[in-house]
Amino acid sequence: MSAHEFPNWHLESLTAHSGVGYDPVYGAVSTPVYQTVTYQHPGSELGPYDYSRTENPTRHATQEAINRLEKGAGTLLYSSGMAALTVLVQTLQQGDHVLITEDAYGGTYRIMVDLFSKFGVSSSMVNTRDLNQVEDHLGPRTRLVIVETPSNPLLRISPLAELAELVHAHHAELAVDNTFMTAVRQRPLEMGADYSVYSATKYLAGHNDVLAGAIVCKAPEQYRRLNDLTNATGSVPGPWDAWLLLRGLKTLAIRMDRQENNARALAQFLSTHDRVRSVYYPELAEPSVKAVHMEQASGYGAMLSFLLKDPDTHIALMDRLKVILPAVSLGGVESLITHPYNETHRELPEPMRRKLGIIPGLMRLSVGIEHIDDLLNDLSDGLRD
């Protein structure tokens, strides 16, 4: 089934029907887990599948479900978000250059500095909110720009349509890490991006139980190029992980609604708390920034960060919380709190962390689906004197 068979369906209906219609034998409503590596074909004739590194029916159904949400030319699944980003950069050649949002996820920085630099692919971290800075760094060998908006962990907003225009004028491609917003809130391809990249581990799967990644491609030739490379290198998920992701997708829209409502209430609560210096959440951003976000997104998402007045408070906070779990990762049904300075962003050199505002008092909250009163009471208790 292609995206175009569901032209008028709302995202809630598309997500609920993820994987429906993929069992040709029994009509199973839930796509089966095709736990097989190889496929018998009738005699010398080849069948639709031949080897599971190349394609597997469960993985195929999951890819199609994600592809429908963004109306892509094709979507590929990976064993993690980092595997997806790695394959994307592997499409480049020695001498090429990549630009990345300066406060992007630390792992993105790490593969560029620790891995791709050894193969002659260079990178620069830039403030992608500022088009002049981006233009200054776009060189003749810049082939790829990787943007996170809202960024991780400071929820900074970069203007997608303007970036796409600028990047294309320099004959490069734009990839947007859409992990935080997901297709139910932001569709980068519609804003001109070439790729929408995911840590599907997060909201798409949604239950803190599966690692996966995805890339949605705008054009068929981009999809073919990535598909060939993925088949050659093999960083694909197994059928069970693809199935867990497919099951998670069915509730993506309602999970996001609930998580976002909870996040809005927590952001308001924190913004008036006397132990909190500032809250980073798109709804609370200054009006011009909020306007840019709402031009390209249909909601604020469920990630927020806040800065404690006294950085040492973070220890008591993390020790006292009971509903909100101290853990890395994000986007699942359970609320999680992270200390980016020591956890998700520790790969960044200390001066860079400080320059970006990733300082010891900064906390990142991934808001889950719990009852809002329990979350408010938990935070209130955690922040008490």
Instruction: Give exposure, 187-200, as e/b (b: 16+ Cβ within 10 Å).
Output: bbbebbbbbbbbbb
CB of 346 to ligand PLP, least distance (A): 13
Q: Which is nearer to ligand PLP, 52 or 152 (CB)?
A: 152
Binding residue count for ligand PLP, defined by CB under 6 A: 13
**CB contact at 8 A, 147 and 160:** yes
202 catalytic? Reply is yes
Q: Rule CB under 6 A: is residue 80 a binding residue for ligand PLP?
A: yes
255 catalytic? Reply is no
Ramachandran area for residue 208 (φ above 0: left; ψ -120 to 50: alpha; else beta): left
CB of 151 to ligand PLP, least distance (A): 8
The alpha carbon dihedral of 269, 275, 277, 279 has a sign of negative
**CB contact at 8 A, 243 and 65:** no
Strand-pair category, 362-366 with 303-308: antiparallel
Interaction pattern, residues 106-135, with ligand PLP; x per rule: CB under 6 A:
-x----------------------------
312 catalytic? Reply is no
Q: Which is nearer to ligand PLP, 107 or 357 (CB)?
A: 107
Q: Which is nearer to ligand PLP, 106 or 239 (CB)?
A: 106
Q: Rule CB under 6 A: is residue 211 a binding residue for ligand PLP?
A: yes
Q: Which positions ≥6 away from 8 have C-beta within 8 Å?
A: none
Q: Rule CB under 6 A: is residue 360 a binding residue for ligand PLP?
A: no
Locate the DSSP E strands across the chain: 74-78, 97-101, 122-126, 142-148, 173-177, 195-199, 213-217, 276-280, 303-308, 325-326, 336-338, 362-366
Question: One of 103, 177, 194, 241 is an active-site residue; which one?
Answer: 177
Q: Rule CB under 6 A: is residue 239 a binding residue for ligand PLP?
A: no
Please tell me the total number of residues recorded for the chain in this structure: 385
CB of 152 to ligand PLP, least distance (A): 5
53 catalytic? Reply is yes
Task: Say how far apart CA 13 and CA 8 lie, in whole Å.
Answer: 10
- Which one of residues 75, 152, 222, 230 is an interface residue with ligand PLP (CB under 6 A)? 152
Cβ neighbours of 120 (radius 10 Å): 11
Q: Which is nearer to ligand PLP, 3 or 147 (CB)?
A: 147
Q: Rule CB under 6 A: is residue 177 a binding residue for ligand PLP?
A: yes
CB of 303 to ligand PLP, least distance (A): 9
CA–centroid distance for 36 within its chain: 29
Judged by DSSP in three states, 90 sits in: helix
Q: Which is nearer to ligand PLP, 107 or 238 (CB)?
A: 107
Ramachandran area for residue 234 (φ above 0: left; ψ -120 to 50: alpha; else beta): left
Q: Which positions ≥6 away from 186 have C-beta within 8 Å?
A: 149, 178, 296, 297, 298
- Which one of residues 19, 57, 74, 81 is an interface residue with ligand PLP (CB under 6 A)? 81
CB of 62 to ligand PLP, least distance (A): 15
Part in contact with ligand PLP (CB under 6 A); list of ranges 77-85, 86-94, 155-163, 319-327? 77-85
CB of 180 to ligand PLP, least distance (A): 6
Let me know how many helices (H) and strands (E) the chain has, helices first.
Answer: 13, 12
Question: One of 22, 34, 78, 105 is an active-site residue; which one?
Answer: 105
Interaction pattern, residues 82-101, with ligand PLP; x per rule: CB under 6 A:
x-------------------
Structural tokens at position 176: 């947007």
Judged by DSSP in three states, 6 sits in: coil
CB of 198 to ligand PLP, least distance (A): 8
CB of 207 to ligand PLP, least distance (A): 14
Judged by DSSP in three states, 199 sits in: strand
Question: One of 143, 156, 202, 353 is an active-site residue; which one?
Answer: 202
For the segment 265-294, give every residue that binds ligand PLP (CB under 6 A).
none
- Which one of residues 213, 248, 301, 340 is an interface residue with ligand PLP (CB under 6 A)? 213
Task: Say how far apart CA 109 and CA 89 lie, in whole Å.
Answer: 12
**Residues making contact with ligand PLP (CB under 6 A):** 80-82, 105, 107, 148, 152, 177, 179, 199, 201, 211, 213
Cite the active site residues. 53, 105, 177, 202
